[in-house]
Structure 1
Amino acid sequence: MLSRVAENLYWMARYLERSENTARLINTTTEVLLDLPRGASFGWDILLKVVGLDKLFEEHYREANESNIMRFLVLDERNPSAIVSSIRCARENSRTFREILPKEFWERVNGLYLYIQGVASGTAQNRAQRYEVLNQIVERSQSLAGLLMGCMSHDLAYEFIRLGRNLERADMTTRIMDINSVVLLPRQGGALEPLQERLWMNVLKTLSAYQMYRRHVDVHVRGHAVLSYLLLDSHFPRTVRHCLSEIEGCLAALPNHTDAMKATRRSWRRLAGLRWEGLTPAVLHEYLDQVQTDLGAIHMAVSHQYFYFHMQQQQTTPPARAVNA
């Protein structure tokens, strides 16, 4: 397989997953804000820090209010991770190699692109409209993933798609979990525990994990139990452990995977080394940052081996790609 084909398929999957999870993150943040009591500290600018886009936002906007942040995360194509940007890049990458993908997939990706172009303009101001549009993005993205799973040969091309999807999914799962670490609740005695339970319930619902958590863990939502489930459960497809297992399976099917597999094993050790005693919000935030760094190392190893290997042999620097930024 040509490296440029593998790279485009990998990034196509990452961008589709990113648009879906950004939509999930925005909707759950809206619900968190609606549920917070007086005296709680949380702002829309925290959302920018969680996704690592606060510095880029400051380059283009003066005020970090809801309208500007929603425009930046949903509409602004100066932000390569904006939902519109991500869907456009996924569409372009899939258009380039339409002969490799099922015909229906291209039609649905193109349909998603046309849909978001037609309705995105009202999402910055209108919360109700934004909620519905973002839910549509989640549903259509899941339909695309299911179409590939059921209608595409599970060959090397599919492995690169699966690899990109699970790397992006694991990263965004940690970012969604990190939302609660930056919410400062007022000290209200016995009223504090129900508020924390509601916040963690929102996290589970964002990842469509609430019912499975209740089935396999507990009917009561407790912070440490939610963290343990979303990090370590081996069966739910959006947990970090499950994503790492999928990544490892993809790499095992690819040749010359030594460096990428080593990076994946380091991530496994990070998960195994988590200590629950004294796990404060600040410690949790630092730990999730470290997990994201590990995932970034896997991405770099994959890129160097499969996308830029021929350039390394020529001792040149990998070029920046606007589509795959």
Structure 2
Amino acid sequence: MRVRRFLPNLSLLLAFDAVMRSGSVTAAAHDLSLTQSTVSRLIQTLETQLGQQLFLRHRKRLIPTEAARRYAGDIGQALDLIQRSSMSLIANPDGGGLDLAVLPTFATRWLAPRLPQFLSANPGISVNLSTRFKPFSFDVEPYDAVIYFGRDDWPGADHVKLFDEGVTACAAPALLADHPVRDVGDMAGLTLLQLETRPTAWSAWFAGQGGQPPGEGNRMRMDQFSMMIQAAISGLGVALLPDYLAQIEIAEGRLRPILRRAVTGTGAYWLAWPQAKSGLKPIAAFRDWITDRIATDFSATLGAADSPTPEPGRAPS
């Protein structure tokens, strides 16, 4: 049961939010098309209901307390969620919206080009994409689902595995012409480009090649695969990429795979959603679509780790 004391009227929360965002009662009153005295009265009513002083009064100025700053963060998120939900209902009264958090390079390189197919097959559903690098709680963040890399351990969520990751080391043709790589020993002296969130990826790749990684001296860390791809194309070093991300540059000849391709990586890609939302139509439709599409797209590449080893430093013919 909801307790009304802890559910202030929306007009009170909007006034509070406006003052916190704009920094003054005058600006807040302008934003809300109200008088300054009305905004001040709404703030006082909110303080009375909560039993907390939210602002210090100094020469007709309202100075937010530390409690008000903490409260503003939560209230802002709640108002954003109400707004998005209302917009989604208006735009799709017979369908629904899907707010999806996704890894940035996966979104731009794989998901976005294929998303029109999903939307065409599900005309009543809209999809909103946000990029996220790090784990979050569905209880705090207003997302319906997330595509992430790791294990099936997202708290309070149901999961479906999309695919296991195979990683391929790639470098620019000019770099390999100057520094040919015929075995793992030839990797010494090359700069290894590494994703910040995959600290053990190179160790797993070298183990898959039957060798040991060189020292930590020639490492360059980056926070996105898209940045790593461009750095490798420029000849800055060797990029260790999920095999599905490397396909375009390899096919175009801008990168060449090194040694054995699609070595088993350190995790898998997953789709997760809150257990409480498992029955929602947008989530079920997206889950069914993406698993079918990945099964089709990856059927020719998921077994690449067991394929014959190409000539070192060259793309297979």
Greater radius of gyration (CA): 2
By percentage of residues, which structure has more strand?
Answer: 2
Report the TM-score when normalising by structure 1: 0.25
By percentage of residues, which structure has more helix?
Answer: 1
Report the TM-score when normalising by structure 2: 0.25
